Structure 1
Amino acid sequence: QLLYRMAFAGFAMMNLMWISIALYSGADKGEFRTMFHWVGFALATPTLLYSGWPFFKGAWSGLRHFHLGMDLPIAIGAAITYLYSLYVTLSGDTQGEVYYDTVVNFLFVILVGRYLEAISKRQAVASTQRLLDLQPRVATVIRDGEEHIVPIRSVKISEEVLVKPGERIPVDGIVVGGSSSVDEAMLSGESQPLSKRPGDQISAGTINIHGVLHLRVESLLQDTALGRIIRLVEEAQASKAPIQCVADQVVPWFVAATLGIATATFILWVGTDFDKALMAATAVLIITCPCAFGLATPMAIAVASGLGARHGILVRNGEVLERFSAIDHIVFDKTGTLTKGAMSVTAVAMAESAWQAGEEMPMKIQELLSQLSAVERYSEHPLAAAILEKAGRSHDVIENGSFINQPGFGVGGIVSGQQLYAGTAAWMDHNGVERTPSLESIAAQLDQQGVSSLRVAAGGVEVALISVEDPLREDAQALIERLKSDNIRVTLLSGDRRQTAELIAQRLGGGMDVIAEVLPEEKDRVIAQLQSKGEQVAMVGDGVNDAPALVRADVGIALGSGTDVSIASADIVLMSNELEKVALASALSRRTLRTIRQNIGISITYNIIMVPLAVAALITPLVAAISMPVSSLLVIGNAARIRTLFRKH
């Protein structure tokens, strides 16, 4: 529609140009003058009604809601210039001038500017379209033993979908047949294809590389992981940052000031030259259109959130970008955030036997791990996963109703008629467990080395000590160093003993604060204490027990591999699980806010320079119409410069 209106105005402009040339060449006397006036009227009237309709519609809509919008000065300028020209034409005034060409020319130029703005906006939010393109339009469904290619909207939950090599996965589902490697790079940022076999979860938008996969449909369209990502990006691009809310409040006053200046300009010149007064006032109305001011914030947010999504950084809304730019303290949960969250059992010590990784495991220890796995099966702690992996297949079963779980301390349950406890020293004391001196001696040595360990008790007596290791992420140290170089304070938050937590901090390069021995329910209290000191705090975590702290923080950041609860609680989600994206998100927020301020500066500077020229009648409405969209395009181009941040990284 915008292109059609622009083309219509362009056609009228070219024809009116010939009439103007004729008038300026001397055909401005008698019947020729009158004829050219009526021809100008015939061309300008449909142009004003059709090409100028969006401006009149926008102006009227704003007035109906008692809002002075950006279209009002343009509509008034075009209408007044046209009505004056119509008066001269109808009255047959031989002295007055008509300005049909001016009306058509500046409508055409403004529409060209709006069209270029629309193209630039489309490019700015192209990241959303790229995500939409990941969603296949059709799927191959197995019905009554036969393959049917159907539109994705007609697929039902729990149906079986067939995905051939090279095809995109159309749904979120569970592999029920076949095996393959799947490329998840576009969705999660994972560079290496991931092996998928029966029982594995698989996401829409990923690519099946080789092998045929049979999936049971779990979710479709907007309910898939891809759909939720798209919705999050769209909401972010449509959202407003606080600085934009201020700008929106300023615009009506800006328009009112424009109308006042235009009126004063007309009064200033009308006593000496009516035509000059009309053209100067019209130029003021056009040149002070606050379009650039209105674009300053939304364009920067649209570019930033779209580019962030392309690089695995999902920002919930524009306000988050503004808040993150002010962050001066980032708190990292240790387990699963700075570490890989994939704990492994490295050693087991019992009173009568011991085992270390790489050795053959004694039968006694195998039996203990088998029994312990029956209890840990109901725990969500990473330690539980490590024990289950090391125990392998177990036939031991916990008695119904006997499982107990105290987050931050340990678990317990009855297996084969015997009460088992696994957890911290405090958990042992809480349950009245009798300590074993030889195991306590080993525990003391492990504590000095900063090695995490788990105590196990059976029948009220401490029987084993399990050593576990959770390796640091490869990019953790580089991230910490970069944040410190950006003058951002960094804190390690851990439930480990202080000695263990400080050892990890040293391995990360030192120079960071350590808050240790923190229970899960105390994490949000720690964040609140830091905020009470006037600090702007961001929290990075991935577990269920991180959710309250993520909500409490000024900005909550969750890793994409985290739980649904932590992701739902976060302001920013890092889909690729690359910790370096925390620093990139911080840089993106600062660049975005700086760009918004630059854009507002461009708009203000433009008006400071151009308005006095228009008031002094040194600028015609046509020149004003040309310069007005140029200011908007400068704002759009400046917002597009945010892309250079990602080229550097």
Structure 2
Amino acid sequence: MSEGCFHCGQEVPASDEYAIEVKGVLHPMCCPGCAAVATAIFDAGLDDYYQYRTEKGKKQNLDTIMAQLDAFDLEEVQQDFVASQGKHKSIILSVQGISCAACAWLIERHLKRFSAISRIHVNTTTNRATIHWDDSQMKLSALLGELSSIGYPSTPFQVDSNELNHAQNTKQFLYRLGIAGLATMQVMMLAVALYTGYFTDLEDEFRNYFRWISMIFATPVVLYSAQPFFFSALRALVQLRVNMDVPVSIAIFGAFIASCIATVTEQGEVYFESVSMFTFFLLLGRFLEQRARRKAAESSSNLQRLIPLTAWKLKQGEPEQVAAKSLKVGDTILVKPGDTIAADGDIVFGQTSVDESMLTGEHHHVPKSIGDSVFAGSINFDQNINVKVTKIGQQQLLNTIIRLQEEASDSKPQIAHLADKLARYFVPGLLLIATLTYLGWHFVKPEDAFWITLSVLVATCPCALSLATPAALTCGASALREKGLLVRSAKVFETLPRVDTMLFDKTGTLTKGNWRLTQCIPMDLMSEQECLRFAAALERSSSHPIAEAFKPFEDTSVYADNIEHQHGGLRGVINHKLVALGNGKFIGRQQFDQNLYLSVNGTVVASFELKDELRADAKQTIELLTSKGIDCQMLSGDPSPKAKIIADELGLSQCVHGATPAAKHQRLTTLQSQGKVVAMFGDGVNDAPVLAGANLSVAMGSGSDIAKNSADLILLGEQLGTISAGLDVANKTVGVIKQNLAWALGYNILILPLAIAGWVPPYLAAIGMSLSSLIVVANSVRLLKL
């Protein structure tokens, strides 16, 4: 069958095994999942969906999806996302596969057929559905099953605490903004009457009446809407410092009090419309700014949602579905193909491949077997595996990534401290200029002195200057995270573009740390096959990476007893013979190579040549970095002369091998004394000192904890080329910071003389200040698209 699947469009098998016939027409299907979905849609009389949809549906794996749904009926699972309203319950679902309005129509029409569901609304923008239903008539698992049956697998939408706080703050901010907006419209209408009254004979009693009404409308704007500015300024003044809200607060409060005095005394002019208007524009600018900055931080908070709500916990060998948050260290969980792993742990049974792209940014499956670590949020693909939980809660890698990224956002590079220092001196300078402006205009045109001073205070508020660096750093860190680089220190952005020398460890950095057998050399005492089987029998129980090299040669008829794992090798008993496998020193031969030796009853019977495979993109990465003017060298603790061969193969300019941690550190300091800006790549405990001393340190995500704790940047995946992409992001981030600072300073330098000259009315000053801040944030958000 040559045409694609009728439901999802993917290639279909040569046979018509899964095709379904509707009204005499045979529709090809690629799998039983798509066939079941299409059948459900046709049986419900909703086949118009196929006529009006704008995109194909998603390929379905119904068996996997349905197997997970029963857990959602557990009360301890539901309490986090289901709200009870009398006999009804409500839930917000994240729905997969929504691509157009036809999808929303199909979902709503299908679920409305059930009397248990009282209300449903599908939002095609957010891919969420809000459902109210009677739990006594329909279980949540059944509801989710119905969605899955028509091709829209769904999971409960959960808001984390940060997002919840943000939502509450946004709601309150919108109240303030709404009141300011409504009041501004009303006061502006009254202001028009007052201004036109100067050109017509408006009686004094009406003029005073309009003033009083304007004051009534402006009062909630000042006392409620403008509160964030007042409280921020007050906190700063209590600490004997000034911030950018001080001039804003003086401007708003001063204009309001002056207008109130003019209203009560019936002398002078009132500017309630200006007070309301620039409060509104200030709030609008801050609101849009927060929205933009929040977008940059969402990638981190969304990681938390990758962890599933339930897990299959093994009790006496039998799986029982439990809430994932109830898991404890030491528990063993069953992870089926297609399931998301619920906790960090080590595989104790089975082998499979895992998608860790949500952690590393690399979209390929990583092979895993007994002894390998797996992480919460990654997806199991091939086979069932049993995982012994080693970390839960905040100790899990996913949460560690989020926490480290938050810590990095709190640290500041030198350029950020410079911007903070400028802003710190700018505000007192602004207040001084405003004072001089008032004194100057007081002698020239006293009636305009206050309002011109007001414009100076508002127009030159250094909001954009204060945002210039943190907005760019937040977006830059998020962009690096998408590339698979976790920033642990904000100095990455100013140091990485200046790096001219990169030092690479060999094992686990330039190479994968995955050994493979390239040659077996028997000593004529045993055949090659016998030697391989003996070695494989010893390595069968080992989780060391070298054991993988012998797995293809395992023979169930050859079994090793009494295996002892010792430094440098293993010992055991095979067929009543004492067998040892290890390096030359372990079996009594002084060797400085990577070969392993097999001995039987103390006699060496074979040697095995092993090769640690180079990372696929190592050579390309070195070439790319070299083309950018970076000197790449090897600094390895491996004593084998093969290190030099690898260095030559990769095109590294120098190779230092067999180096102790002290020697590595000495090499680093020598380069730094020559004026080099050095970045060090490492993954082991012995790399920690040199990582700590480098100008910039990069640790492999698969490396030791102590190496990662010493690093400024963690490469989460297995692709070395990520660092080249990170170099581009860092360069562009620094560029954006400089652009932001230039714009913020340039705007203030330009607007200041205009405001002092009296050419900028207060409301235009507020608009200009808000637009200046938004330009800075919008420029920073461009980094998210890299």
TM-score, L = length of structure 1: 0.83
Does the Cα contact within 8 Å between 2:351 and 2:385 map onto a contact in 1? yes
Paired position in structure 2 for 1:477:
619
1:108 shift after superposition: 0.2
Paired position in structure 2 for 1:126:
298
| Mapped partners of 2:448, 2:213: distance in 1 | 23
Q: 1:585 aligns with which of 711, 726, 743?
A: 726
| Mapped partners of 2:232, 2:294: distance in 1 | 21
1:322 shift after superposition: 2.1
* Further displaced range: 555-564 or 518-527: 518-527
Paired position in structure 2 for 1:10:
181
Partner of 1:205, secondary structure, is coil
| Mapped partners of 2:532, 2:291: distance in 1 | 67
1:319 shift after superposition: 2.1
Q: 2:363 aligns with which of 191, 194, 203?
A: 191
Paired position in structure 2 for 1:361:
528
1:37 shift after superposition: 1.2
1:585 shift after superposition: 1.7
* Further displaced range: 132-141 or 70-79: 132-141
Does the Cα contact within 8 Å between 2:531 and 2:605 map onto a contact in 1? no
Paired position in structure 1 for 2:773:
632
Partner of 2:498, secondary structure, is coil
Paired position in structure 1 for 2:269:
97
Q: 1:269 aligns with which of 424, 437, 441?
A: 441
Q: 1:253 aligns with which of 425, 428, 434?
A: 425
Query: 1:334-386 deviations in whole A, cap 9, x for unaligned?
Result: 222112222223224466579xxxxx61646866x589979x979x7x66875
1:529 shift after superposition: 2.1
Q: Amino acid of the residue matched to residue 204 of structure 2? A: G
Query: 1:410-455 deviations in whole A, cap 9, x for unaligned?
Result: x89999899998358xx99xx8x699xxxxxxx9xxxxxxx96568
Partner of 1:343, secondary structure, is strand
| Mapped partners of 1:140, 1:353: distance in 2 | 50
Paired position in structure 2 for 1:551:
692
| Mapped partners of 1:390, 1:529: distance in 2 | 47
Q: 1:294 aligns with which of 462, 466, 471?
A: 466
Q: 1:614 aligns with which of 751, 755, 765?
A: 755
Does the Cα contact within 8 Å between 1:292 and 1:603 map onto a contact in 2? yes
Q: Does 1:601 align with 2:742?
A: yes
Paired position in structure 2 for 1:408:
none
Q: Amino acid of the residue matched to residue 750 of structure 2? A: I
Does the Cα contact within 8 Å between 1:334 and 1:494 map onto a contact in 2? yes
Paired position in structure 1 for 2:307:
135
Q: Does 1:35 align with 2:209?
A: yes
Partner of 2:717, secondary structure, is coil
Does the Cα contact within 8 Å between 2:622 and 2:652 map onto a contact in 1? no
Paired position in structure 2 for 1:62:
236
Paired position in structure 1 for 2:393:
221
Does the Cα contact within 8 Å between 2:637 and 2:658 map onto a contact in 1? yes
| Mapped partners of 1:366, 1:211: distance in 2 | 26
Does the Cα contact within 8 Å between 1:328 and 1:489 map onto a contact in 2? yes
Does the Cα contact within 8 Å between 2:478 and 2:784 map onto a contact in 1? no
Q: Does 1:79 align with 2:229?
A: no
Partner of 2:528, secondary structure, is coil
Paired position in structure 1 for 2:280:
108
Cα distance change, pair 121–273 in 1 and its aligned pair in 2 (3 A):
same
Query: 1:38-77 deviations in whole A, cap 9, x for unaligned?
Result: 1111111111010111001000000111121111010001
Q: Does 1:239 align with 2:411?
A: yes
CA RMSD of aligned residues (A): 3.7
Matches within 5 A, 1:307-318: 307-318=479-490
Q: 1:88 aligns with which of 249, 259, 262?
A: 262
Partner of 1:191, secondary structure, is coil
Structure 1 unmatched runs, 5+: 355-359, 406-410, 436-442, 444-450
Does the Cα contact within 8 Å between 2:309 and 2:324 map onto a contact in 1? yes
Q: 2:659 aligns with which of 495, 518, 522?
A: 518
Cα distance change, pair 414–181 in 1 and its aligned pair in 2 (3 A):
closer
Cα distance change, pair 160–501 in 1 and its aligned pair in 2 (3 A):
closer
* Further displaced range: 35-44 or 169-178: 169-178
1:631 shift after superposition: 1.0
Q: Does 1:51 align with 2:225?
A: yes
Paired position in structure 2 for 1:172:
344
Partner of 1:227, secondary structure, is helix
| Mapped partners of 1:37, 1:541: distance in 2 | 72
Paired position in structure 1 for 2:560:
395
Partner of 2:746, secondary structure, is helix
Partner of 2:632, secondary structure, is strand
Query: 1:6-61 deviations in whole A, cap 9, x for unaligned?
Result: 11100100000110111122275410111111111111111101011100100000
Q: Name which structure has the greater RCO, CA cutoff 8 Å, separation 6+.
A: 1
Partner of 1:341, secondary structure, is strand
Cα distance change, pair 55–149 in 1 and its aligned pair in 2 (3 A):
farther
Paired position in structure 1 for 2:649:
507
Q: Amino acid of the residue matched to residue 272 of structure 1? A: V
Partner of 1:318, secondary structure, is coil
Does the Cα contact within 8 Å between 1:8 and 1:51 map onto a contact in 2? yes
Q: Amino acid of the residue matched to residue 193 of structure 2? A: A
Does the Cα contact within 8 Å between 2:299 and 2:478 map onto a contact in 1? yes
Partner of 1:25, secondary structure, is helix
1:130 shift after superposition: 2.4
Cα distance change, pair 551–613 in 1 and its aligned pair in 2 (3 A):
same
Paired position in structure 1 for 2:148:
none
Paired position in structure 2 for 1:357:
none
Q: Amino acid of the residue matched to residue 18 of structure 1? A: M
Partner of 1:619, secondary structure, is coil
| Mapped partners of 2:590, 2:625: distance in 1 | 46
1:571 shift after superposition: 1.5
Q: Amino acid of the residue matched to residue 715 of structure 2? A: L
Cα distance change, pair 161–275 in 1 and its aligned pair in 2 (3 A):
farther
Q: Amino acid of the residue matched to residue 287 of structure 1? A: A
| Mapped partners of 2:314, 2:547: distance in 1 | 38
Q: Does 1:422 align with 2:583?
A: yes
| Mapped partners of 2:497, 2:745: distance in 1 | 23
Does the Cα contact within 8 Å between 1:334 and 1:493 map onto a contact in 2? yes
Q: Amino acid of the residue matched to residue 361 of structure 1? A: E
Does the Cα contact within 8 Å between 2:564 and 2:570 map onto a contact in 1? no
Q: Amino acid of the residue matched to residue 101 of structure 1? A: E
1:640 shift after superposition: 1.7
| Mapped partners of 2:441, 2:289: distance in 1 | 34
Q: Amino acid of the residue matched to residue 178 of structure 2? A: A
